[in-house]
Amino acid sequence: MYAFDFEKPGSIADAVAALKDEDAQALGGGQTLIPTLKQRLAMPSKLVSLSGIGEMKGVCRADDGAICVGGATPHAVVAAEAGDYPALAHLAAHIGDPAVRNRGTIGGSLANNDPAACYPAAALGSGATIVTNAREIAADDYFQGMFTTALDEGEIITEVRFPVPEKAAYMKFEQPASRFALVGVFVAKYEGGVRVAVTGASEEGVFRWTEAEQALSSDFSASAVPAAPAADGMIGDLHGSGAYRAHLVAVMTKRAVEAAS
């Protein structure tokens, strides 16, 4: 590690002001940032902790029925309090281990946009809205590639709003050491159609499998899930080839549909 300044503001406004300083960086639960600092892959001059901002914590139900999750809410709290959206609560309950679930936050996960993280699949699969200190961003516009999002410099995620579907489920094939998704699929059935979001598989990060969405919107059953998507552009590494991950996309989608049904 190295020397840096540390601030823990108590409000969103104070956090935004602190992040205007040169080389300042927001700190959520630190599950990605702290290891990055230890390896000196990032060297901000100031860390601005978001953990003390009460208005960014907790889970509630909005007037329109959406589940609203504060950006600084730990995974364990989402698992315990998002019971009105069982698929979301189940996803949060199976992120990492207890230490990660009690420190990591939904805002930190979505801001980092790791290509194998679970929350991006939930947000994209639900058609969620990412609320920041400055605006609201539809999930379809938010994710822009591996570790890349629509967030501007100094912009922080204050809340995530999840429309609650008729049926939904998340299934992931875990990498056993990290418990990240080797492939994870979030399926959600709404009145207007089905959304299918895939994480862990693509070199471009989380994506919607539109072919499966079209098939499942007509027939919401595991038998309607198409054959595996093209392996081109899928991640290939020591854990599995691109073709293997493409196969897992179809398998996890079928399992998610079966679980949702």
Mean pLDDT computed over 235-255: 96
The reported pLDDT for the residue numbered 1 is 62
Q: Which domains, from first to last, does the chain contain? A: 5-162 (3.30.465.10), 167-260 (3.30.390.50)
Give the pairing of strands 181-190 and 5-7.
unpaired
Mean pLDDT computed over 58-79: 97
DSSP string, the chain: ----EEE--SSHHHHHHHTTSTTEEEESS-TTHHHHHHTTS---SEEEE-TT-GGG--EEE-TTS-EEEETT-BHHHHHHH-TTSHHHHHHHHTSS-HHHHHH-BHHHHHHHT-TT-SHHHHHHHHT-EEEESS-EEEHHHHB-STT-BSPPTT--EEEEEEPPPSEEEEEEEE-TTT--EEEEEEEEEETTEEEEEEESSBTT-SEE-HHHHHHHHH--SGGGPPSPPP-TTB--BTTB-HHHHHHHHHHHHHHHHHHH-
Strand order in the sheet with 5-7: 5-7, 46-49, 24-27
- C-alpha span between 35 and 174 (Å, rounded): 21
Mean pLDDT computed over 101-129: 97
Instruction: Average the pLDDT over each of 25-34, 75-84, 155-164, 191-200 and give the range with the smallest value.
Output: 25-34
- C-alpha span between 243 and 251 (Å, rounded): 13
Instruction: Average the pLDDT over each of 8-17, 34-43, 182-191 and give the range with the smallest value.
Output: 34-43
- C-alpha span between 97 and 100 (Å, rounded): 5
The reported pLDDT for the residue numbered 173 is 96
Q: What is the pLDDT of residues 28-64, one digit of tens each?
A: 998 888 888 888 888 888 999 999 999 999 999 999 9
Give the pairing of strands 157-162 and 67-70.
antiparallel
The reported pLDDT for the residue numbered 42 is 81
Q: Which two tokens stand for residue 191?
A: 């009145």
